[in-house]
A and B are shown apart, each in its own frame.
Chain A
Amino acid sequence: MLPLKEFSKALGVSLWFVFLTFPLMVVKVDPIERIIRYRWDNCAYVAVVTFTAYLLMKFYNLRKMRVGETKKEVKESKNIIHSILNNKKQMVVLCSIVLVIAAVFPQIFSSYQTNVMTTALMYVVLGLGLNIVVGMAGLLDLGFVAFYAVGAYSYALLNLHFGLGFWAVLPIGGGIAAIFGILLGFPVLRLRGDYLAIVTLGFGEIIRLILENWGEFSQGPSGISNIPRPGFFGMDLSLASSITYIYYLMVIGVIITIFVVNRLQDSRLGRAWIALREDEVACQAMGIDKRKTKLVAFSLGAFWAGIIGVVFAAKTTFINPASFTFLESAIILSIVVLGGMGSIIGVIIGALILILMPEYLRALSEYRMLAFGGILVAMMVFRPQGMIANVRRTYRFEKKE
């Protein structure tokens, strides 16, 4: 049980929060009618909520400490996921279960659920793409959404002007985005850390602002509508079946992405990225071409974003610049960090949580985004290394008897 001292502390904390929230929560003024309303009941809510939250927090810490005493146990349970990943047999079983669920999902659930799941899968791929840049190569990119926008507009515009179809634009959109990745990569090669972050943020905003203002090119803020959904051997699909169709496309897309990213991670290039992330100077000393490695990371990350951009345009059938704001970049970055930087399975889980959560939080109606922000903070505070931290590949030298 908690010591009594904690209760008085909790009282102090709740008093502090009552003070903190007083002007915003209690006082409400109408400057025109010159009316002041005091909502004293809010004081009580704040006090009760913070009081219990503090005690729960302490309780959690206490438990963590107790559990920490029997460390061995914890270690074992913590590594369940990794042990599954390392065990081929279990891995196969797990994968096939996931695949079966993925395959029957649209049959069981409504088209709304399928649509939401498709969005989540798109973010899985986006997260994996950004993971190449941020997680593996260690280049903090706050403007990733720019490449996503480039892909989406490539499809919309090429379709509008030249009548190109979804399948034709899919590689083109990815390619154009990759070129933009290199374009961004060149000037920022010298920049490090947070300077890189703000330049990429600026780049993302520049792309959005150009799309917004250059009306002759992009149709401006009113956007492009009636973008065709992907075709299926020339057949006309109804809305419900095309939702299912895009869903299956995304499932395949995710599988391909996981495969490619996994292979990349173990390749020579992937190791060069990791070396670059850990120490640029040492990495150069080892004879790795820093310039080329960075540019490849940018363009490969951008390529995935471009492809998903094309899918995005085809799925919503309407795009405008409002979909490509900084907040979107922040969400994709949160997916990567929340899931666990550099860890593929972590990114997948991160994307599923972060994209599905606001949808299922709809039950909370107007408190939805409040809860989203709060949960983001809480998750980081309780698991700063991400849901599933990446495990370094280690080689253990064992002496033979």
Chain B
Amino acid sequence: MDYFIELLFSGLTRGSIYALIALGYTMVYGIIGLINFAHGEIYMIGAFTAFIVATVLSIYGFPLLAIIIIAAVAATVWASAYGYTIEKIAYKPLRQAPRLSPLISAIGMSIFLQNYVLLAQTSDFLPFPELIPDFEFMEPVAHIVGSSDLVILITTTVVMLILTYIIKFTRVGKAMRATAQDRTMAMLVGINVNKIISATFIIGSALAAIGGLLIASHIGQINFYIGFIAGIKAFTAAVLGGIGSIPGAVLGSLVLGLTESFATGYISSDYEDVFAFSLLVLILIFKPSGLLGKSETQKV
């Protein structure tokens, strides 16, 4: 039983991290119908910025709490700035283009950003400072749920709640939903669609940056290539839940995280990814638009 609970928490942690990245995919997809392959790279850049800022501050002798806050703020600010700029450079000119062109542009952007970080920083793995200390009150259960697992779970929940609030109740959120439903109509009722799309990229990137910071501190290392695999997994999770749906992205991520964790625990980690992708295929066969996606009836 202990083993089961341990695996459950390990799966939830993994799922929460996927969720933070998957939300960016799903929001961008919902609003402009683009699979933003460069999103994984935003996550990586967020983590790298946090690494640089945290290390600089710790060398200057700042206290831990200040380091955490400043690093988190810097990571979100820069990741958002990258998200915003990428949209302006690589996707905005392609709004009216054939559907697959922005996809290729996104793949190109992803390759570009990876190599940019490789050249500007290093190809080596770097130690990420341990921002989340081991809490003393967690010690009795540390073998089941670690402190960083707890922080990840709590942060993800809080971030989700804030995001739900933004989407549901604020002006920007309402405008986002309107734009996602029908861009032309949204324009007609006076929504500045360009601004709303930028806002979507900024929010999505900020979430990815938080994810990057948490995971880098959890596993304690960082490299220019970490965004690629995490990005593909998060994208899978977003599709699993129904791409374009925000609760879907969260549910899909948790399902994917748990599947991987239990598959490793009870069967074998050799085929961990095979299980993840087979699950995806199975779910899509029975629910072709994902767990919570709207099934659209096609009209002529």
Contact = CB atoms under 8 A, between A and B. Distances in A.
A34 to B, nearest CB: 5
A370 interface: yes
Contacts of A386: 98, 101
Interface string A342-368: 000000000000000000000000110
A333 interface: yes
Interface string B35-62: 1010000000100110111011001000
B111 A373 contact: yes
A337 B99 CA distance: 10
Contacts of A367: 115, 119
A interface, size bucket: 35 or more
Contacts of A337: 98, 100-101, 103-104
Contacts of A370: 112, 115-116, 119
B65 interface: no
Residue from A206, A333, A366 with most neighbouring chain B CB atoms (10 Å): A206
Nearest to B53: A23
Contacts of B116: 24, 370
A29 interface: yes
A192 interface: yes
Contacts of A380: 90, 94, 97, 101-102, 104-105, 108
B121 A376 contact: no
B52 A377 contact: no
B53 to A, nearest CB: 7
Contacts of B298: 192, 280-281
A213 interface: yes
A381 B59 contact: no
Interface string B285-300: 1001110000000111
Contacts of B200: none
Nearest to A38: B56
A31 B57 CA distance: 11
A29 B129 CA distance: 12
B278 A381 contact: no
A334 interface: yes
B205 interface: no
Contacts of A235: none
A41 B80 CA distance: 25
A341 B29 contact: no
B251 to A, nearest CB: 16
A20 B271 contact: no
A167 interface: no
A381 B105 contact: yes
B300 A376 contact: no
Interface residues of B, number: 69
A143 to B, nearest CB: 10
A199 B281 contact: yes
A206 B115 contact: no
A376 B285 CA distance: 34
A190 B290 contact: no
A34 B101 CA distance: 45
Interface SS majority for chain A: helix
B271 A187 contact: no
B111 A195 contact: no
Interface string B85-111: 100011001101110111111011111
B270 A213 contact: yes
Contacts of B271: 209, 213
A45 to B, nearest CB: 11
Contacts of B101: 337, 380, 384-386
A32 interface: yes
A238 to B, nearest CB: 37
Nearest to B109: A377
A48 interface: no
Interface in A18-42: 19-21, 23-25, 27-29, 31-32, 34-36, 42
B120 A21 contact: yes
Contact of B29 (A194, A285, A366): A194
Nearest to A16: B85
B56 A36 contact: yes
Contact of A206 (B29, B100, B278): B278
Contacts of A187: 281, 285
Contact of A194 (B35, B117, B129): B35
Residue from B122, B235, B280 with most neighbouring chain A CB atoms (10 Å): B280
Contact of B35 (A188, A191, A197): A197
A3 B227 CA distance: 41
Interface in A254-302: 279-282, 285
Contact of B117 (A24, A134, A381): A24
Contacts of B51: 29
Contacts of A203: 277, 281
Interface string B265-290: 00000110110011011001100111
Given A23-B48, A374-B108, 12 more contacts: A20-B82, A28-B122, A29-B56, A29-B59, A140-B100, A195-B243, A198-B235, A201-B236, A205-B273, A206-B277, A373-B115, A384-B98
6 contacts: A23-B48, A187-B281, A203-B281, A209-B273, A381-B94, A385-B101
Interface of B: 29, 35, 37, 45, 48-49, 51-53, 55-56, 59, 74, 78, 81-82, 85, 89-90, 93-94, 96-98, 100-105, 107-117, 119-122, 126-127, 129, 232, 235-236, 239, 243, 270-271, 273-274, 277-278, 280-281, 284-285, 288-290, 298-300
